[in-house]
């Protein structure tokens, strides 16, 4: 509770006590008027001042004005009819202020909740100075400085571990709950939390360019890109109050001219004014979006604007890049086929021998294929002699291992040295090995599917996506295999970046629904920008892709694609209901109290529906933050309703 809230609470209590006290005082005429004006002014003076100031500044038609007119009308009626019943006017003001107070309190709470959700900004960094640790503002640290991160602290700046080993909680960045182990030589990203060991880290970036700062920047600016519904509501609010006031005047004047009974119709017009406040409507949408964006970012999905959240819910076609999106983009040894096994079964001893030779030959190469061969053969430092390594461009490598001449390379190399090579029916890059000119077999190297790629495709179909297309620069054979494995019906292979854009445009022109493109690399940037929604993978890597994309998946988990779309979907549904509710409650359902109870129950059931985890992860979180707010909003409206009913009866 801040100072303003405390002050307003005091005013409310004081006015309520006075009102109750006055109930037992028997006075009439002018004295009664003066006595009742005390609680009225205590609780409503700021509203009256604001209304007056609004008129002076030609900004009259806001809710202060509505309240001022309604209460002044009630007082006028009390004097006019001679009943001297000022309780109505005071009660309206009182209930209005109670509603305002609850609203301000609830918004403050959800604001705190949401900022806590996104609080990954590190406050300080430890720098060693003459053997002592000093806490320094991270923005003052230059690239290349060595910082110390102690257990329980946030990693302030991106860097490379030079000393120490520890486990990092990366959930703030990736939404992944599994901690990651790091040791000397590993790169670490700011925003992670160091769990156990002490780490000494050499920074590789400035604070402002570090991951945590970039993410916060993205999220904070996200809600400034407004969605269609937000824009709609802003425009709507502008004409709303004038329309309400106009209708109230019409309600007071027209029927009473036709049927007489001016007093009753004026009462009704006042009721109408009281229950029509624009604020519920205006807040409902940004709050829902904001909570949604915050929730998504905690799940490792960064959405760059409310408008994208809205578009996500309309996605019916998903176009995906292959390498790095569906597959890991890292080559691995898929199979080892010594000549004796004839490509069917593997003979472990001979296979090991084959890997042994090929790993040694590729010892000094930096080619990705060489790396994958070395990774597959762990016991590389086994004392074998590797000599006379010769790289044959476009063919492979020749080297002498323990005196044997080994050739490792493609089929052309085998033909050149006259080895009788055999083709393989596996899909991937085939590396042939010849020992002393004799063909010994081959190693198949392939890019592996990401573990959850298949599940992601299934989820997308389940969510109502009716077309999934794969675009890739890879050869047809590989594309066909990947598409087949994942159950993707449509694919286009051997595409250059420009051709990817062309293909996407063709898809865009065929569809009336939104098309999402998912990609990772720099080569995907133009396509990401062109699609209705660009979703970037590899967020922690390719900057160009992040820049171009509208949604960024913090870890490269393809399952997050469906989560993101789902988030948009949920948001859309809730949004619609929120909007409807604010209309309904604003427009004055007579049994509003019941409405609150039912809403509460309904929402309770949504929360328990959280077992359907993915579908409403965002929705549920959204509600847990906005629930308290919404309910007070309802209470507030029911308060008004109560007053309105009391007045009308």
Partner 1 sequence: MRKNYKIDVDCANCASKMEAAANDTAGVKNAVVNFMTLKMQVEFEDGADAKEVMSRVRENCKRVESDCEIFI
> Could you write out the DSSP letters of every residue in 285-347?
HHHHHHHHHHHHHHTTEEES-HHHHHHHTTEEEEEEESBTTTEEEEEEEEEEEEGGGTTTS--
The residue among 101 and 267 lying less far from partner 1, judged by its C-beta, is 101
Parallel, antiparallel, or unpaired for β 551-553 and 533-536?
parallel
Q: Applying CB under 8 A, does 223 fall inside the site for partner 1?
A: yes
Q: Applying CB under 8 A, does 55 fall inside the site for partner 1?
A: no
Question: Measured in whole angstroms, how far is the alpha carbon of residue 150 from the centre of its chain?
Answer: 29
Q: Per CB under 8 A, which region of 109-117, 121-129, 174-182, 606-614 contacts partner 1?
A: 109-117
Annotated catalytic residue 85: no
The residue among 59 and 81 lying less far from partner 1, judged by its C-beta, is 59
The residue among 292 and 441 lying less far from partner 1, judged by its C-beta, is 292
Residue pair 519/507 in contact (Cβ under 8 Å)? The answer is no
CB of 571 to partner 1, least distance (A): 15
Q: Applying CB under 8 A, does 63 fall inside the site for partner 1?
A: yes
Restricting to residues 289-348, name those near partner 1 by CB under 8 A: 290
Q: Which of 104, 313, 347, 614 binds partner 1 (CB under 8 A)?
A: 104
Residue pair 336/346 in contact (Cβ under 8 Å)? The answer is yes
Q: Which of 163, 187, 220, 543 binds partner 1 (CB under 8 A)?
A: 220
Q: Applying CB under 8 A, does 231 fall inside the site for partner 1?
A: no
Q: How far is CA 28 from CA 31, 34, 83, 88, 358, in A?
A: 6, 10, 10, 16, 106
Q: Which of 7, 53, 477, 591 binds partner 1 (CB under 8 A)?
A: 53
Q: Which residue has the tokens 């409507």?
A: 281
CB of 637 to partner 1, least distance (A): 15
Quick one: which of 193, 172, 328, 171 has its CA closest to 182? 193
The residue among 524 and 578 lying less far from partner 1, judged by its C-beta, is 578
Cα–Cα dist 338/118, whole Å: 54
Q: Applying CB under 8 A, does 109 fall inside the site for partner 1?
A: no
The residue among 53 and 378 lying less far from partner 1, judged by its C-beta, is 53
As to burial, measured by CB atoms within 10 angstroms (0-12 exposed, 13-18 middle, 19+ buried), residue 256 is middle
Residue pair 72/616 in contact (Cβ under 8 Å)? The answer is no
Nearest-10 Cα torsion for 337, 339, 340, 341: 30
In sequence order, which residues have a C-beta less than 8 Å from that of residue 100 and are 6 or more positions away? 8, 636
Q: Applying CB under 8 A, does 111 fall inside the site for partner 1?
A: yes
Secondary structure letter of residue 407 according to DSSP: E
Q: Applying CB under 8 A, does 57 fall inside the site for partner 1?
A: yes
Residue pair 551/539 in contact (Cβ under 8 Å)? The answer is no
Q: Per CB under 8 A, which region of 45-53, 124-132, 334-342, 569-577 contacts partner 1?
A: 45-53
Among 158, 321, 520, 566, the active-site one is 321
x-marked contacts with partner 1 along 257-296 as a string, rule CB under 8 A? ---------------------xx--xx--xx--x------
CB of 73 to partner 1, least distance (A): 22
Q: Applying CB under 8 A, does 120 fall inside the site for partner 1?
A: no
Q: Which of 13, 49, 162, 239 binds partner 1 (CB under 8 A)?
A: 49
Q: Applying CB under 8 A, does 234 fall inside the site for partner 1?
A: yes
Restricting to residues 133-172, name those near partner 1 by CB under 8 A: none
The residue among 50 and 577 lying less far from partner 1, judged by its C-beta, is 50
CB of 118 to partner 1, least distance (A): 9
Quick one: which of 445, 426, 422, 398 has its CA closest to 338? 422
Cα–Cα dist 395/406, whole Å: 13
Q: Bridge partners of 554?
A: none
Cα–Cα dist 97/43, whole Å: 7
The residue among 224 and 385 lying less far from partner 1, judged by its C-beta, is 224
Question: Which sequence positions are flagged as catalytic?
Answer: 321
Q: Which residues bind partner 1 (CB under 8 A)?
A: 46, 49-50, 53, 57, 59, 62-63, 100, 103-104, 110-111, 114-115, 220-221, 223-224, 234, 237, 278-279, 282-283, 286-287, 290
């Amino acid at each position: 509770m801040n100072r303003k809230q405390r002050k307003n609470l005091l005013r409310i209590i004081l006015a309520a006590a006075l009102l109750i006290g006055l109930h037992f005082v028997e006075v009439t005429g002018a004295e009664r008027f003066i006595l009742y004006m005390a609680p009225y002014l205590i609780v409503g003076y700021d509203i009256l001042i604001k209304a007056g100031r609004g008129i002076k500044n030609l900004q009259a038609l806001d809710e202060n004005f509505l309240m001022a007119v309604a209460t002044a009308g009630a007082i006028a009626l009390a004097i006019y009819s001679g009943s001297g019943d000022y309780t109505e006017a005071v009660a309206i003001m009182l209930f209005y202020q109670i509603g305002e107070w609850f609203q301000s309190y609830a918004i403050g709470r959800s604001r705190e909740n949401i900022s806590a959700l996104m609080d990954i900004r590190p406050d300080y960094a430890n720098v060693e100075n003459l053997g002592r640790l000093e806490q320094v503002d991270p923005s003052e640290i230059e690239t290349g400085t060595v910082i110390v991160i102690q257990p329980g602290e946030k990693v302030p700046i991106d860097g490379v571990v030079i000393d120490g080993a520890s486990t990092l909680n990366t959930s703030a960045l990736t939404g992944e709950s599994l901690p990651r182990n790091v040791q000397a030589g590993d790169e670490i990203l700011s925003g992670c939390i160091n769990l156990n060991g002490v780490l000494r880290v050499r920074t590789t970036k400035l604070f402002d360019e570090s991951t945590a700062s970039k993410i916060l920047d993205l999220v904070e600016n996200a809600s400034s890109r407004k969605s269609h519904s937000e824009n709609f509501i802003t425009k709507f609010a502008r004409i709303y109050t004038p329309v309400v006031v106009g209708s109230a005047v019409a309600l007071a004047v027209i029927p009473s001219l036709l049927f007489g009974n001016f007093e009753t119709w004026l009462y009704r017009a006042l009721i109408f004014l009281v229950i029509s406040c624009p604020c519920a409507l205006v807040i409902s949408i940004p709050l829902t979006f904001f909570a949604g964006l915050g929730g998504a970012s905690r799940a490792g999905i960064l959405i760059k604007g409310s408008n994208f959240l809205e578009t996500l819910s309309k996605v019916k076609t998903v176009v995906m890049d292959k390498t790095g999106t569906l597959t890991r983009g890292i080559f691995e040894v898929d199979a080892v086929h010594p000549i004796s096994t004839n490509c069917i079964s593997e003979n472990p001893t001979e296979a090991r021998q084959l890997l042994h030779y090929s790993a040694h030959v590729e010892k000094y190469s930096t080619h990705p294929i060489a790396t994958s061969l070395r990774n597959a053969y762990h016991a590389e430092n086994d004392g074998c002699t590797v000599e006379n390594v010769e790289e044959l461009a476009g063919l492979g490598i020749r080297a002498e291992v323990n005196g044997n001449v080994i050739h490792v390379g493609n089929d052309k190399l085998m033909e050149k040295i006259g080895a009788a090579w055999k083709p393989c029916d596996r899909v991937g890059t085939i590396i042939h090995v010849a020992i002393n000119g004799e063909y010994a077999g081959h190693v198949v190297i392939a890019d592996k599917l990401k573990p959850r790629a298949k599940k992601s495709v299934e989820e997308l179909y389940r969510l109502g996506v009716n077309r999934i297309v794969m675009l890739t620069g890879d050869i047809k054979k590989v594309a066909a295999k990947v598409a087949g494995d994942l159950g993707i019906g449509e694919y286009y292979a051997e595409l250059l970046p420009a051709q990817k854009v062309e293909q996407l445009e063709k898809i865009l022109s065929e569809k009336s629904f939104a098309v999402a493109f998912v990609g990772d690399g720099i080569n995907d940037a133009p396509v990401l920008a062109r699609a209705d929604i660009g979703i970037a993978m590899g967020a922690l890597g390719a900057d160009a892709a992040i820049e171009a994309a509208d949604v960024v998946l913090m870890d490269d988990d393809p399952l997050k694609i469906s989560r993101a779309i789902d988030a948009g979907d949920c948001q859309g549904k809730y949004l619609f209901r929120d909007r409807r509710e604010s209309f309904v409650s604003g427009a004055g359902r007579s049994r509003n109290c019941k409405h609150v109870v039912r809403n509460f129950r309904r929402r309770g059931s949504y929360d328990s529906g959280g077992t359907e985890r993915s579908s409403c992860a965002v929705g549920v979180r959204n509600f847990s933050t906005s629930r308290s707010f919404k309910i007070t909003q309802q209470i507030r409206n029911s308060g008004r309703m109560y007053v309105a009913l009391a007045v009308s009866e």
